[in-house]
Structure 1
């Protein structure tokens, strides 16, 4: 038995299977014996290369164009689809990167390789490109690899399987065993049979296999194949292949690093001789250490494959994607491979050019990870005798790294456009849709709506997404912050898809811009003899406000009463001065001073957007004296006496109460010899006089004791009538105001005055600004009009104070020639300025317009024309027609009735002056 155990430690095989380019595989139940009818294509995009004891096939993404790829192993007419189980069992691995490029590694000792003397290997494959509509294209791959540098033991650790192949026993060992057996006689054979029970002998002469898990577990070859192990022999080698997850594999820690191990002893029996052959493969499944910048892979030098501490490393190589790289390439890419404390240490920078990044979504959060596939290849010698070649293809993926995208707000408040940038993302992220406040839009729909969506790519292949949305779009939420400030808010949910897995994730953001962009409503108005005329410009808010007149909102009913009209930008209405919304300020003998307060307010927040107050004197008959000796008087409740009740007013005789009264007026009608009216004679005039006052409140209407009281308002109105002969005339009306009673303020407005040049004396057509310069012959008439625009106040009169001509457009330049001086024509002018009357039926307010005519002339010096042009300038004054002094009332020293303008310059600061100038007027020589 001592001799027998020694033989068992050898990686040798007695039985030789002859194979000249013959498929060495145990047929499985899925083996196809007939090649189906397909389109066989030869096409670019396929690359094959021999890398040591493996063949590498690269399929470019352009070949599939997004279609699904499937692979078949081919040997002659036999075709086997490479399912995951079949690939691991027979020595194939398949992997694709995110671009769609596919790598296939095939062991030269795979189940389907043609093998000639373990030196020349033919590998045939087919690639099926499955179309969307069910069709498929098939591409054939054929590669011959020469490899004859087999070590006694070779181990491959690929992505999905472990493979170990060893030399079989040479012939002299078999002969030695035969002689020994004959010398010892039949006893040895009987002992062997008793030790190892009889089993069916396979075509490979493999009698049985014992797996160490690490406990022993025996099975025959057929059972091992059914379990999923790949077992085969070649001319000189035994091959064992196992997936990492088969039940007879186990994990063993080597210096703290886990390794997956398969350990098998294979028994060969031929006639009366039996040989045992030990095989073991161990592949690392850990040993990785990650930082943000560096990947460190530690491979344990002391591991289950090392039989002796005297093991020497003969060769050590690093590779990428199954291919060796030299030291210069390693240095250029930042790689290193060293031995430190019984560990082989490989270092690779994160983000190196041989790997790639991939996007992931974890709990709807964006992550990335870096992937690279380094290779470690070793050749060592145990006890100075046998050598082992060891190759590890070790795909590495870093842990998921959170990469929350950065949201950059580049919104332009001047252009009123939201401009946001979101990134950075990897190449495999696609923007699918965007959710706004108004709904979800695809990228195409958002672009059709007018949004700008751009994918911005960077040099390293990453990208960001730019979105531009105008403030005016309905999806933008607009909020009023205060009177003149608007907050524009854009809520966005980006919908992304990670390809090719079609994994969705989203990113929510909100951006807001605050702008002081509100143009508030403006109010203006005027009066005629009976009404207030009010106009409200909406600004840029539109009609999104309420109007209050006095103390009440303008209801639809009152809008109809006041004749409200409006368009997209303005509204206007007319309020009679006796309307309930009007406040009375003061009473005069023949007029009533009334005020209308207009407030524009925003109903949601209660903001006041604008207010306007206008007060005017309206003519009204307060007292009438009749020839029959009767009198009438009107008493008005003014604003300063807001507690007054007109119905309590009486004449001197308290029994003489109003004939009519309401909340604002009391109307009295009485005979001159009644109601306490007094009579006085002087200078042939008879004066009747009475007084309207507040009657004493009866005791039963007085408040209870202990209840605070408000003093009664003081109200006195004296009514007088003067009679001379048979002529009756109202001569006096006045009120007695309360002490320190404030006078109402005057409302102001904007009055526009313009100077225009008419085309002829009809004053029906005028030159526009673009018509200048105007050309005229010498001494031909020039017709000028000065007019007050927009005002409807009949109490205003436009007066031309001064007009003159200059050579230059500067109104203060010299030389200068006066045309009108202090409201009168220049009598020193040989060609006098002529005033033309404005017909009363031609315009509504003739006092607002002045027409005058001059003769075209030129400035000369020593009988030489200085320049063939003139400019005309005027100073205009706005006067009250009731004004009795200054330039507004003095007459010119002329008998011409058309020259009745005012004279003597008034320097009072209370006059409203306007400076006017014409455009350039050119002299045309005859």
Structure 2
């Protein structure tokens, strides 16, 4: 599988700050922010409980060392009675002397952002690179007139606007291409007037919202998705997921990139304990038609598609599962992805349909019906009937956007 790195936007959020001094703050160091920032007071959205759960070693100081709790809150940062620091979000600030300050947290979205891939539009100018990158944050500081910033006048404000982006990785297969990395775009502004300085998110372009999953399979074989959750200490997520399943009334079902999709295929209404269900081939498409392109393999001869960086996980189903006929079931876990254009590698399809070509097999003296992943082919088994070899498909699984930090998400003002 070939891997490519492609540019995409990054979900970020806005803060608000004002600086009365004429200082320049290059370079911005860890545990240090432009000194003496005086923020404009704005009501703050409710913060998620974990936004400020930043390890002491990873904290980057926000505001001056003597910042008060109120000042820290107005800067959209976190305060713990000893220090004002950036939380697990993305914060945009503007200074009086015409500087953007942007701090990007790895944990700002799910899946997490690769902070080393974050960049501005003007990537060829070394001064537009991050002034510091840690394992948890990327820190940018640059003049409002540089790094591809555009300029306009609007209703008493001088407005500077820029665009921040991150890269994503594309896996290229023989019949389609996918990505499991976040892909978003952000436009943000610094707005200056005689009396105020504002930082503002103008537009966030994210993945469209989602729809369902499910499906009655043909010829008494069905494919369904597990939705059970671990609710007790010591619970195994893989086991709990298959204790309950999505119903038609649950649609639409939403998933984010890399989130597990728990798939179960089973023989319906059969009580013959000798029957063994096997997966010949499982794959995904962007439309309900199993023959449509693009496609992405999930299982080949019942085994994980080896050219997928995030291998499909086959979940063993045996007597410990509590099922009356364990051999009537197959389970596997797929990490959610989205299809991308084969030529441009731009994310194109957010809808995924899962298909499996199944075989119901009777063991014999010459064929145990067991699927072994080191075998490329196995002898044909004597089947229970011609009706027990067929294709089953899921309903729609549509990608939803990663969950950004709510404390820093602002609507257009």
- What band does the TM-score fall into relative to the shorter chain? 0.3 to 0.5
Q: What TM-score, normalized to structure 1? A: 0.17
Q: Which has the higher contact order (CA 8 A, sep 6+)?
A: 2
Q: What TM-score, normalized to structure 2? A: 0.38
Select the structure that is richer in strand: 1
